[in-house]
Structure 1
Amino acid sequence: MNGTTTTPSLPHWLTPRRLDRAEQAVIVALWLLLVFRVWQSSAGNPFAPLMLLTETTVLLFVLLRRPTEAISMRFGDWLLAITATAAPMLIMPVPVPDAMVALGSIALGLVAAGNAVQLAGKMFLRRSFGVAPANRGIKTTGMYRLVRHPIYAGYLMVHIGLLMMMPSLMNIALYAIGWWAQILRLQAEETLLSQDPQYRAFMQKTRWRLVPGVF
């Protein structure tokens, strides 16, 4: 992504280790806010607790990950990462419209399949999982043979399913902002990771980033 080359860097006192801790604190705060909103709205929408499945795995893997010094120090990369992570945690549960009830099984299937995909991807990464662009080790096996970012592919399925269950203009806007940031974040990650010869070889072998045959 060409824009990352001109993005201002973060202050020098924000070392990679401090950034790691700050990122963890932000994720914990967002997750607690999400739990509170789900608890408040679960009576109005029985699907609301499903919002916690994906975001709880994000929280757990962020807390358990291994530290790294090979992390982006660009302000823009961090802004994209936080935006892409925060937006799905800010969607508002709304009552299921009658028109969407018939699509409930499809939506549930997307959420279930997406969570299986993102969790499988995280299990391959294990302690290499992170939010901001960083090199915590290159993974090329398992689901990474199909697409370079299977976790994001799983998120996409989950978010489509949840939006079907909780359609509103606010949620559409939040997901649109989140996925705009997600795509730019994905490109920023590949800019950083492609400095590693192993990842450059992986990019040649696994052509598609997110959706086979599309992107």
Structure 2
Amino acid sequence: MMIRSPFRSFGLVFGQFACLGAIAFSGPLLPSSPLLLGLLAAGLGLSLWALLTMRLHRLSVLPDPLPRVELVSTGPYRLIRHPMYASLLIVTLAWVLNVPTLWRWALWLALLVVLVTKLSYEEQMLVATIPGYRAYQQRSWRLVPFLW
């Protein structure tokens, strides 16, 4: 049985936004390279696709399942269970690669650790809440299609 912890949930969200903010405000938001601009656009496109598929009324920054949570397994969720987290990592990777300092790489790695911890915690609660979630886990990737 998974014990929900508001301190853990809010701590993970705080860590996520602290890393995001530090990366965003430590360099330009628009990369100078067309390749990195394409990477940024891909991350933003994945985020928009996930939002349109999920619908805003199902969105929460907290890893805790909302009341009357429903399994979404269409759109990008057909392949990966956490496209919003993937999009954050893609967008911030474009920013870090644009100005690749040791500090920004450390922040990106910290963001990766926070998001993997957050999605693992979230999945434990979703398995306990949604009857078909375990089967969904078996047919989809966590974060990166065909890798993990």
Question: TM range, normalised to the smaller chain?
Answer: 0.7 to 0.9
Distance in 1 between the 2:147 and 2:9 partners? 24
CA distance in 2, matches of 1:94, 1:213: 32
How far apart in 1 are the matches of 2:105 and 2:37? 18
Please tell me the root mean square deviation across aligned C-alpha atoms, in Å.
2.1
TM-score (norm 1): 0.59
> Do residues 134 (structure 1) and 64 (structure 2) align?
yes
- Structure 1: state its 5+ residue gaps: 6-71
Q: Deviations over 1:91-126 (max 9, x none)?
A: 23347xxxx96xx11110100011000111112222
Q: Percent identity?
A: 32
Once the two structures are TM-superposed, the CA of residue 176 in structure 1 deviates from its matched residue by 1.6
Residue number in structure 1 paired with 2:106: 173
Match of 1:41 in 2: none
The count of corresponding residues between Structure 1 and Structure 2 is: 139
Summarize the Cα distance change of 1:204–1:170 in structure 2 as closer, same or farther, 3 Å threshold.
same
Instruction: Report the Cα distance in structure 1 between the residues aligned to 2:53 and 2:136, rounded to whole angstroms.
Output: 15
Report the Cα offset of residue 204 of structure 1: 2.4
Residue number in structure 2 paired with 1:185? 118
Q: 53, 77, 82: which is aligned to 2:14?
A: 82
Larger radius of gyration: 1
Give the deviation of 1:145 after TM superposition: 0.6
Question: Which structure 2 residue ranges, 5 or more long, are not aligned?
Answer: none
1:201 paired to 2:135: yes
2: CA distance between counterparts of 1:81 and 1:191? 17
1:190 and 1:85, CA in 2 relative to 1: closer, same or farther beyond 3 A? Answer: same
Q: Which has the higher contact order (CA 8 A, sep 6+)?
A: 2
Question: Which whole-Å CA distance do the structure 2 matches of 1:209 and 1:125 have between them?
Answer: 16
